[in-house]
Structure 1
């Protein structure tokens, strides 16, 4: 916890900054000013006037190169265009995952994250998600870079059957797929900040990334003008009052059947790494 504290910090802002996976302070200010979420009443606009500095963010985040603006207009209809990107991390998770895949809806900025053992698992995730979304929405386009994980006959046939256009971009010009490419860097900045702040081993990046994606969907984004991706999709403000800090100490109950006598401890300590997965995540 020492990596994030400073004599200048007020405890309320620091706590919510950490709960929201080291979110940008200006984005958090907008969430409070515009009441974009429920359960964040402990913070006021005045809290943002005090000096604030997060050492974990300073170590974990650095300026990214500028992305060129995409030519043309963005899709405004939710799920009309899905965008995907795959990235290696360089460290294996306990479950044997080495990559992660992001799929983002262009209009709502809502995103899904999948951990991958191999890149070959990616197209199955795309097809499964599309089948779920198609029940209530019309998907018109799917875009990715030109990696072999997406340029294959199985996925091409699936998209053709479902009337979805496959748009590939040049792998050496990420600005063509800039939304999800930039998202990749933004989320990993937050993952590094959490690992640094909580002093967690790098192998837990997968669990931390799942937490980051969860709270990012409930956070402010410039593109949506006062609402979160969660509200854009579900039509209601997210409730955040019960958010916990990723990497904080928790205690889990030991069932009576596993306690040998009345002196045995009733709980064991653990580390909070995220929430149970929802069906759409």
Structure 2
């Protein structure tokens, strides 16, 4: 399932944005890397870079970003008393908001502007 969604994302990035994905860095846990991910690697001609299993510090930026987003999801759900079954929608909204909010880390650009290499 995860590799299927990843394949769809890689295709979307290539067709909608004209950007080729050359490599993906991921946690080295064996449960994430199976035959379907190997097929995806071959089909898209990308390199899968696996970090040492169970060492989230090697994926520090991604881990921290996920933590920040999930903290925002929790805070929003608590403050607005949103039912727990709606958390995927709140998560999607937080990711979207994060991607269009300027940040000093990338010189005042939004993550989307940085990704596309163009201003909105």
Q: Which interval holds the TM-score relative to the shorter structure? A: 0.7 to 0.9
Q: Distance in 2 between matches of 1:161 and 1:194?
A: 39
Q: Post-superposition shift, 1:227?
A: 0.8
Alignment of 1:235-254 (within 5 A): 235-237=118-120
- Alignment root-mean-square deviation, CA: 1.8
Q: Are the equivalent residues in 1 in contact too, given 2:99–2:111 (CA < 8 A)?
A: yes
Q: Distance in 2 between matches of 1:198 and 1:172?
A: 34
Q: Post-superposition shift, 1:126?
A: 0.7
Q: What 5-or-longer segments of structure 1 have no aligned partner?
A: 1-120, 238-281
| Partner SS state of residue 33, structure 2 | coil
Determine whether 1:127 maps to 2:7.
Answer: yes
Which structure is higher in strand share? 1
Q: Post-superposition shift, 1:148?
A: 4.0
| Partner SS state of residue 138, structure 1 | coil
Alignment of 1:37-56 (within 5 A): none
Aligned pair in 2 of structure 1 residues 199, 155: CA closer, same or farther (>3 Å)?
Answer: same
Does 1 or 2 have the higher relative contact order (CA < 8 Å, sep 6+)?
Answer: 1
Q: Distance in 1 between matches of 2:53 and 2:30?
A: 11
Q: Are the equivalent residues in 2 in contact too, given 1:142–1:166 (CA < 8 A)?
A: yes
Q: Post-superposition shift, 1:159?
A: 1.1
Q: What 5-or-longer segments of structure 2 have no aligned partner?
A: none
Equivalent residue for 1:207, pick from 89, 102, 117: 89
Q: Post-superposition shift, 1:222?
A: 3.3
TM-score by length of 2: 0.85
Q: Post-superposition shift, 1:168?
A: 0.9
Q: Distance in 2 between matches of 1:221 and 1:160?
A: 35
Q: Post-superposition shift, 1:125?
A: 0.8
Q: Distance in 1 between matches of 2:31 and 2:104?
A: 31
What is the count of residue pairs matched by the alignment?
117
Alignment of 1:182-201 (within 5 A): 182-201=64-83
